[in-house]
Structure 1
Amino acid sequence: MNAFCVFAKVKDKIMQLFVANLLRVDSFKGFYHVGAEFRVSFQPSSIGFKERIVKWLKPLEGCFKLNIDSCVKNFKSSCGDIISDFKGHVIVAFEVSSNADTTIKAEIEALLFCLELCMSLCFTNVWIEIDAMLLILYIEGNSIFNSALFYMLKDIKH
């Protein structure tokens, strides 16, 4: 497969994600020229921030809550994770770096690491909050995923 075919397939996948609302205009913040290359059209007036109120909910009694967020920037990835008890007390909070080259891979690695940590701490009743809709679709089996991620997703499901 030559580079032009690879680039064409990436463009098609970007458009599929955009049309499915799994990728939004604000995903291209700082890289609007890349969005334009992928045929993502947006008006300058549509680029901006929307304020919204976010409320953190405590898990049920006897449960633990795992909040995960990852990002990749300038070819470096990191994730922040918090494990809280049902009273809202933070049990563990940390930030780790990884070698993931995509945000979805960083999210998968972070979730797998945190689940393994929860298991080592004997936390078996865990609520998970993660903002990666694509990862949720992968776990639910509602989306086709990269085969390189297969074993990590299998471990997460297990």
Structure 2
Amino acid sequence: MEPVWFPPLPGCYKLNFDGVARQGLAAGGGVIRTHNGALVAAYDGNLNGHTSNQAEAMALAWGIEFSLSMGIRCMYIEGDSKLIIDVVKGQNRLNWTIEGPIRDTLRLISRLESFRIMHVFRGNGVVDALFALGLTNIGLRCWRSHTSLPPHVNFLLMEERIQTQIDDKALV
């Protein structure tokens, strides 16, 4: 069985981010976890009037900024927007509609000691739940404890953590 979430190496952290826009509403969100899946931070933000690409780009920039503010310097970064990942990697040209958050992301990434940014073909259930909350939220929120998360988000987080630990044991 394929795990829902793949952990980073010990000593590194993982940021999963996503964004969405539909019917005039837009939001972004993300989750930062340790190598064993423990929550470091989760966040969501409302971006009404923006496009999906803008929401994705903002969610990425927010995640890196939160990580740096907590002293994180080694990150694995995953998102399901190939466009955003390719632009950050320099493999696609920068579109003016996402120029601001991408430039912020590049500036912030330069402060990391080590990072790996990857495109994933599937979303992440925890992040999907977070940006869905962001659609109804005003502003930007950040949670630093799994117990402070809304119950359904905490459930998804714990479910992914348990699944990852089960899959790790099966590999031994």
Whether TM-score is above 0.5 comes out as yes
CA contact (8 A) 1:65 1:84 kept: yes
Task: Give the drift of 1:135.
Answer: 0.5
CA distance in 1, matches of 2:65, 2:5: 23
Higher RCO (CA 8 Å, separation ≥ 6 residues) = 2
State whether structure 2 residue 9 is matched by structure 1 residue 86.
no
The percentage of counterpart residues that share the same residue type is 27
Unpaired segments of 5 or more residues in structure 2? 108-172
Q: How does 1:1-158 map to 2 (within 5 A)?
A: 55-158=4-107
Tell me the C-alpha RMSD between the 2 structures.
Answer: 1.9
Task: Give the drift of 1:145.
Answer: 2.6
What secondary structure is seen at the aligned counterpart in 1 of 2:31? strand
CA distance in 1, matches of 2:60, 2:97: 16
Taking structure 1 as the reference length, the TM-score comes to: 0.61
- Higher percent of residues as strand: 2
CA distance in 2, matches of 1:103, 1:53: 28
CA distance in 1, matches of 2:100, 2:91: 17
| TM-aligned CA distance change 1:55 to 1:139, over 3 Å | same
Number of equivalences: 107
CA distance in 2, matches of 1:56, 1:150: 29
The structure number with the bigger radius of gyration is 1
What secondary structure is seen at the aligned counterpart in 1 of 2:28? strand
Task: Give the drift of 1:148.
Answer: 4.1
